[in-house]
Chain A
Amino acid sequence: DAGVIQSPRHEVTEMGQEVTLRCKPISGHDYLFWYRQTMMRGLELLIYFNNNVPIDDSGMPEDRFSAKMPNASFSTLKIQPSEPRDSAVYFCASSFASGINSYNEQFFGPGTRLTVL
C-alpha cells in the first residue's frame, strides 16, 4: 500500500487566496483525521471523519476552514480566505477502528507545508 497520500507537499500563497489541501487515505481505513502542526501550538486535531461523515470539527479554528470527504478515498481541507497565521504543516492521517476490540492507530501522510505570505 502506498500509505496516506497528500498533495501538494508545499504550498505558497498570498493572503486572501483560497487554499485546498488534498488527502487520499489508506484503502480500507474508515477514519480520517486532519491535523495542523506549528511550533507555537504543537499538533492540533482539526477535524475527523468516520465513514466519510464528519464526527468532530471542534478543532477547526474558524469559519474560514472547511473540510469534506465526498467518498472513502478522498478528502479536502479548504482555507478561504487564507491568512499568514494559517502557515503550518497540515497532516492527514487515517486508521481502521471499527472492528471488535479495535483501536485507533493512525497512519500519517507526509504533510503539506503551507506558507501564506
Chain B
Amino acid sequence: ELKVEQNPLFLSMQEGKNYTIYCNYSTTSDRLYWYRQDPGKSLESLFVLLSNGAVKQEGRLMASLDTKARLSTLHITAAVHDLSATYFCAVDRLTSGTYKYIFGTGTRLKVLA
C-alpha cells in the first residue's frame, strides 16, 4: 500500500529562519509533487520532481528528491510571512496502466513576524 507521511504536521517559525519539511513514502515511486494551499483556497502546484537527486528551487523554497531513501524535502530559506500556508507532498505510482496518487497529510506552516 502506498503511504505518504509528512512531518512536522504543524510548524510555527520566525521570519528570517530556515526550516525543512520532510515527506516520506512507503513504496517505490520516482515522481513526487509539492503543492501549496493558502487558507480557504485551492491547491497550487509548486514542484514536480521526476528522478533521484532532482532539485528544484523557486524563490525561498527548494525541493529535493532521494528515491533510494524514499524521501523528499522542502527547504525554506529565510522565511517570510507570505510563505504561511499548508504544504502537501504527493506521490504517484503507475501500476498496470493506472495511477495510484496519494497525498501526504500536509504541513501547516505559520511564519511569525
Interface size class of A (residues with CB under 8 A): 20 to 34
Chain A, range 63-117, C-beta contacts under 8 Å to B? 91, 93, 97, 103-111
Binds A, one of B16-24, B40-48, B56-64, B67-75: B40-48
Task: State how many angstroms separate the Cβ of A21 from the closest Cβ of chain B.
Answer: 14
Q: Are B33 and A110 in contact (CB under 8 A)?
A: no
Task: Provide the residues of chain B in CB contact with A104, threshold 8 Å.
Answer: 31, 33, 92, 99, 101
Residue of B nearest to A31 (CB): B99
- Complex CA distance for A97 and B100, rounded to whole angstroms: 13
Interface size class of B (residues with CB under 8 A): 20 to 34
Task: State how many angstroms separate the Cβ of A69 from the closest Cβ of chain B.
Answer: 16
Task: Provide the residues of chain B in CB contact with A33, threshold 8 Å.
Answer: 101
Flag whether A56 is at the interface (Cβ < 8 A): yes
Q: Are B42 and A103 in contact (CB under 8 A)?
A: no
- Complex CA distance for A31 and B98, rounded to whole angstroms: 11
Closest 7 CB pairs of A and B: A108-B43, A108-B42, A43-B103, A104-B92, A105-B48, A55-B98, A110-B42
